Chains A and B, each alone.
Chain A
Amino acid sequence: MSAPAPPMGLLAEVTHRCPLQCPYCSNPLELERAAGELDTATWLRVLGEAADLGVLQVHFSGGEPTARRDLPDLVRRAAERQLYSNLITSGVLLDERLLAELVEAGLDHVQLSFQDVETANAERIGGLVGAQAKKRAAAAMVQQAALPLTLNFVIHRQNMEHLPDMIALGTELGAERIEVAHVQYYGWGLVNRDRLLPGREQLEAATAEVEAARIRLKGRMVIDYVTPDYYARRPKACMGGWGRRFINVTPAGKALPCHAAETIPGLDFPSVRDQSLAAIWQSDPAFERYRGTDWMAEPCRSCDRREVDWGGCRCQALALTGDAGNTDPACALSPHHQAMQAAIAAADRATASDFVYRRIGAAPKVEA
């Protein structure tokens, strides 16, 4: 097999520590504690290896990446190596001094999350009282620093009726870009699926709102829209295909093709503590496992979209069909596709109950 093309992006999950507890967090159910995190020197090495390998953009994420005091040093290394740096933050730990350090270090862009526009609901979802004012202050600081700003709204059954106001907030805060992303149902999101998955009418209203706003704001603001798989006919090209475009490094140093990959049993993911990023990317068996199309079974194997969606998401196939090697059940051609309809019906029937919040040690047993 020839060497794979270099990855475009590095997702650097520098910590799982976070003051927020969003019930759809993309972190794994088993959160890494601070003591298990990679040290600064190792991250600096990894960033250099990423640049050598051909990574173009690095997304500093978490947890809350600003919880790490060495973040400006990591951003500086990224800038030295011409890696485009993106800070994915809740904003609640950001202050003038830290932002100034990050700007001085060469930070390129900030993606700031809001859990809702309505303060009480936002703070209920994020599980942190006082967060909303800090986020607004963070947005103002980013504007003041003349950094490009993206607002990120994760939308779901319990906040999506506020979508018009979310888009208006983006305009008010001077964002060039808004990301409106439906919850993706892995990990914590899957645990809370009945409380989050929208009904069809809600989804259609949100989609229509985004389409209208895109026309209205054309040339002024870009709106990215991530739809929920559960209403899809064909799966998304998850991560642009396994081991094709992205490499993810966890707080403890595990290298993964996607942030949820550790849920897949039988795969032994390598550590950046032991191997270079290049060695991992080019030949690690876990990265080879679902790369390309050789691993596919039917209906993917003979499908003319197999190099469009790459079979969809391995983690979702595992969570909903029990086998990560199956076609993503988001695909209407999957024999397991009815699992999606069943989940929608269950969410429509579910009575309101409190979220299972994302906390260290709070991991419930997942049923799917």
Chain B
Amino acid sequence: MTGPIGDETVPTLGRGVKFRFDDVRQSWVLLAPERLFVPDEQAVEILKLVDGVRSLGAIVDDLAERFKAPRELIQRDVSAMLGDLADKGAIRL
């Protein structure tokens, strides 16, 4: 990351990264070059909205609405989660 993530930032999956449901484990998995992540439920809800079209602001709005949670709280969680995955190369911001 080169700076704070703004509402207008459109997060995308990193090149070669795949997010899919694994039938064997019955869980979502994020597959990246030579590493993989099994995201928790909250992260899964965020990652499902990372489609290369929605901005961070739109993702936060969606989650705040659906989970009836304060926008600031959601924004903090989403930024932290995506920032962490960006540092690991799984997400591009």
Contact = CB atoms under 8 A, between A and B. Distances in A.
B25 interface: yes
B66 to A, nearest CB: 28
Contacts of A224: 34
Contacts of B16: 108-109, 147-148, 176
A6 B25 contact: yes
A263 B93 CA distance: 46
B38 to A, nearest CB: 9
A54 B24 contact: yes
A84 B17 CA distance: 9
Contacts of A15: none
A177 B16 CA distance: 12
B43 interface: no
B24 to A, nearest CB: 4
B31 interface: yes
Given A6-B24, A54-B25, A219 B87 contact: yes
Interface in B71-93: 86-89, 93
B93 A176 contact: no
Given A108-B33, A147-B16, A219-B86, A53 B24 contact: yes
Given A6-B25, A148-B14, A56 B36 contact: yes
A109 B29 CA distance: 17
Interface in A130-149: 146-148
Contacts of A53: 24
Interface string A31-71: 00000000000000000000011101101000000000000
A177 B87 CA distance: 11
Interface string B15-31: 11010101011000101
Interface residues of A, number: 26
B89 A176 contact: yes
Contacts, number: 61
Contacts of A109: 16, 33-34
A97 interface: no
Interface residues of B, number: 20
Interface in B3-21: 14-16, 18, 20
A222 interface: yes
Interface in A224-257: 224
A333 interface: no
A177 B33 contact: yes
27 contacts: A6-B24, A52-B24, A54-B24, A54-B25, A56-B29, A56-B31, A56-B36, A57-B36, A59-B34, A84-B31, A84-B36, A86-B34, A108-B18, A108-B31, A147-B16, A148-B15, A148-B16, A148-B33, A176-B14, A176-B16, A176-B89, A177-B34, A218-B1, A218-B2, A218-B87, A219-B2, A221-B89
Interface of B: 1-2, 14-16, 18, 20, 22, 24-25, 29, 31, 33-34, 36, 86-89, 93
Interface of A: 6, 8, 52-54, 56-57, 59, 82, 84, 86, 108-109, 111, 146-148, 150, 176-177, 179, 218-219, 221-222, 224
Given A148-B15, A218-B87, A219-B86, 11 more contacts: A6-B24, A56-B22, A56-B29, A57-B34, A84-B18, A108-B33, A109-B16, A176-B15, A179-B34, A219-B2, A219-B87
